[in-house]
Structure 1
Amino acid sequence: MATTDLNLLFALDVLLAERSVTAAAKRLGLSPSATSRTLARLRSATGDPLLVQAGRLLAPTPYAEQLASRVHALAQEAQAVLTPVAGHIDPALLERTFTIRANEGFVALFAPALVVGIIEAAPGVRLRFAPKPNKDATPLRDGAIDLEIGTTAPSAPEVRRQLVFRDRFVGAVRLHHPLLAETMTPQLYAACGHVVASRRGIWKGPVDDALAELGLRREVVAIVPSFLDALNIARRSDLIALVPRSCIRGEDMVAQGLQAFDLPVPTPELAISAMWHPRLDADPGHRWLRQKLVAICQAA
């Protein structure tokens, strides 16, 4: 690093443009004598006179003329690299592909609104929804994933997160299920067959802990990979599906052949968050995507 001084690049660009030490000194904010010393350093570094006296101005040597366009482009590029990232962007001019990793339930519920809302505001943006087989943070770290949606942070302490919305677990059964004719109690709930969703095949969770405190245990008949799978089974059987409330929208419940009910035992609230790697914190396009996604999901 000690052998390269980028200030010489900017000074040479100005000297070649002004062809005057005095005029260049004004633009550089230096004294004429300091600018003359800078020109001497440039001559020493390049091994060429670069600019020689020609009347009241300086004339570029053939080598300096060859360098002029390259020097200007390099100076502009270096200036752009070392300039703070713009705080605001025009979404209409944004051209970019964003990859969002989320489970099937989130994609089914929110992808239509996200695609319409984001593409309307930013026609040059493309969205790619990737499956979420696990919580491995490697895709966030290596840039394969721009944004992840989930309830818990990936296995990386540096990952940033922002709350998208809050959710809670409910029970879901087919329409006219016998259970709906009864006053829901922990005993009735535990006595039924259940279907749960777990990518890792785990059937126990907070609802089981709450039942255990009452000396009760539910019978899990089936374990499926996704909440949508659990709902499909509940629709066609007498099993109870345990799903987030967002998976069943009130106006669509009858059309889906399902009815939701509040659990008869308390369970922790679900915090659905957007997660990203800190290298994208200041990226204006990514910041806009995060803000837009949160607004659309909260309004859906």
Structure 2
Amino acid sequence: MAPIDLNLLTALDALLAERSVTGAARRMGLSVSAMSRTLTRLRTATGDPLLVQAGRSLVPTPYAETLAERVHAVAQEARAVLGPASQAIDPLSLERTFTIRANEGFVALFAPAIITAIQQAAPHVRLRFAPKPDKAATPLRDGMIDLEIGTAGASAPEMRTQLLFRDRFVGVARRDHPLFAGPVTAERYAACAHVAASRRGAWTGPVDEGLHALGLRRRVIAIVPGFLDALAIARQSDLIALVPRSCCHRGGVATEGLQSFDLPVPTPELAICVMWHPRLDADPAHRWLRQKLMALCRMPA
């Protein structure tokens, strides 16, 4: 395709609107001689005189008259496409479906407040919470999901990341568990039976390295897929669960009858982040959703 000077399109729009070389030059901020040369180029490109002298004014040719509306529409569209993206949105009129991938713990703890707030601010926006069987970045890259919630560094290096909140692991047991009959020492903690939460079925977790440094090893007798499953089992048994602290502070029904406690050995801090692909970074609607999500997740329990 031969190169096309889109400036000619804008100039033709101005000439057909003003029907004057002087008026078109003034509109475009050019000199009269420069606009005259542009009209010559337009005549060469179209093979039509476009504007011809009629007394002291210019009148459009029949061909130019047929072009006027089309040229104006295309010129406006070109300005919209090639100009800066609009940064303002009206949430009340926004119609869009966003897909958020997060584990079932985050969905259970945060989704009710997120859905309520989004529905109130943007009634035509729909949210789809997708399951998170792994930490692969492919769904973000392919555009299958808009946002992912997870630990920092869990996705691909090109992804944009914003901290939502910091978390840490705690132990949880039913309120009348024998562990609470005395101080929760590393020895007494390790001596209990445990339930682990792991999508991959891992028998060890963040607390085991600290116990190992003391020559201790906990006895994990059950593995479940998620933290809420671990809480349910801890409530109805003598097993000790290991869950993020946020599960206890926002758990609602999930934590009834349970008591959390600080672990007797140090564990790594959790940085819970929202992640998205760079192609959505400047999208106004996506930015609005990110800001709402971050504000809601940073609110006190």
Give runs of aligned pairs for residues 22-61 of structure 1, distance below 5 A: 22-61=22-61
SS of corresponding position for 1:93: coil
Residue equivalent to 2:122? 122
Separation (CA, whole Å) in 2 of partners of 1:57 and 1:237: 94
- More divergent stretch after superposition (115-124 vs 247-256): 247-256
Q: Quick one: structure 1 residues 193 and 156, their matched pair in 2 at CA, closer, same or farther if it must change by over 3 Å? A: same
The letter for the 1-side match of 2:108 is A
Deviates more, 1:4-13 or 1:115-124: 115-124
Deviates more, 1:253-262 or 1:60-69: 253-262
Deviation at 1:55, TM superposition (A): 2.4
Q: 2-side partners of 1:51 and 1:57: how far apart?
A: 9
Contact kept in structure 2, 1:141 and 1:277, CA below 8 Å = yes
- Structure 1 residue 250 displacement after superposition: 7.2
Distance 1:15 1:154 in 2: 57
Structure 1 position 91, deviation (Å): 2.2
Unpaired runs of 5+ residues, structure 1, are none
Structure 1 residue aligned with 2:93: 93
* Structure 1 stretches of at least 4 aligned residues deviating more than 6 Å after TM superposition: none
- Which letter does structure 2 place at the counterpart of 1:28? M
Partner of 2:176: 176
From the superposition, tell whether residues 217 and 251 of structure 1 become closer, same or farther in structure 2 (CA, over 3 Å): closer
Alignment partner, residue 249 of structure 2: 249
* Length-normalised TM-score, structure 1: 0.94
Q: Is the 8 A contact 2:152 2:161 kept in 1?
A: no
1:161 alignment counterpart = 161
Per-residue CA deviation, residues 243-298 of structure 1 (Å, 9 max, x unaligned), is: 00111127847962211111111111111111111122222211111111111112
Q: Are the aligned partners of 2:195 and 2:239 in contact in 1 as well (CA < 8 Å)?
A: yes
Mapped pair 1:298 → 2:298 = yes
Equivalent residue of 1:36, what SS?
helix
Are 1:153 and 1:275, in contact at CA under 8 Å, matched by a contact in 2? Answer: no
Structure 2 equivalent of residue 282 of structure 1: 282
73-82 or 15-24: bigger deviation? 73-82
Is the contact made by 2:19 and 2:59 (CA closer than 8 Å) also made in structure 1? yes
2:204 maps to 204
Q: What is the one-letter code of the residue matched to 1:211?
A: L
Deviation at 1:139, TM superposition (A): 1.5
**How far 1:230 sits from its partner (Å)?**
1.1
Describe the shift of the 1:185–1:229 C-alpha distance in structure 2 as closer, same or farther (beyond 3 A). same
* CA shift for structure 1 position 47: 1.8
Shift in Å, 1:175: 2.6
Q: Deviations over 1:121-170 (max 9, x none)?
A: 12222111111111111211222211111113344211011111111101
Structure 2: state its 5+ residue gaps: none
Q: Does 1:228 pair with 2:247?
A: no
Q: Hey, what's the Cα distance between the residues in 2 that align with 1:61 and 1:143?
A: 49
1:175–1:254 Cα contact (<8 Å) kept: no
Three-state SS of the structure 1 residue aligned to 2:128 is strand
1:70-118 Cα offsets, whole Å, 9 max, x none, are 2111111111122222344332232222111111000000001001111
Match of 1:104 in 2: 104
SS at match of 2:92: helix
8 Å Cα contact 1:135-1:153 kept in structure 2: no
**RMSD, matched Cα:** 1.8
Query: What's the % identity of the aligned pairs?
Result: 73
Any conservation in 2 of the 1:159–1:276 contact (CA below 8 Å)?
yes
Q: How many aligned residue pairs are there? A: 300
Task: Provide the residue aligned with 1:131 in structure 2.
Answer: 131
Structure 1 position 54, deviation (Å): 2.1
1:238 deviates by 0.9
